[in-house]
A = this chain, B = another copy of it.
């Protein structure tokens, strides 16, 4: 196997590329935002679901587990009945919120421009 050259985004084998793809999705962006901006340090599954309208049960579960597997969120099972699961950002996850916030911010700020442009030239 070709050794993965971490720093080289231009190497197709570079894991950083895959990471970039995992981390740029809208659900990651939204989950991280919600967790980062929640009043409390952690949120329950149901609360996350409530705060992210439109996300499906499965995608939330799946995305959270992927984030947990990458060490971006911490998963805590409360031994109640039925058990409740709580998630919180790790330091690493919090650090991801910075570039993600910049991206969300860009999207919010320039949505209008893009919309206008698409209006004018709907050629696709």
Contacts and interface: CB of A to CB of B under 8 A. Distances in A.
Interface size class of A (residues with CB under 8 A): 35 or more
Contacts of A98: 102, 106
A92 B100 CA distance: 18
Interface in A49-89: 51-54, 65-66, 68-72
Contacts of A26: 17-18, 20-21, 24
Contacts of A23: 103, 106-107
A42 B11 CA distance: 23
Contact of A19 (B53, B100, B111, B123): B111
A103 to B, nearest CB: 4
A41 interface: no
Contacts of A69: 118, 121, 123-124
15 contacts: A9-B104, A16-B107, A16-B108, A20-B26, A21-B25, A24-B25, A24-B29, A65-B124, A69-B121, A71-B117, A92-B110, A95-B110, A98-B102, A99-B102, A99-B103
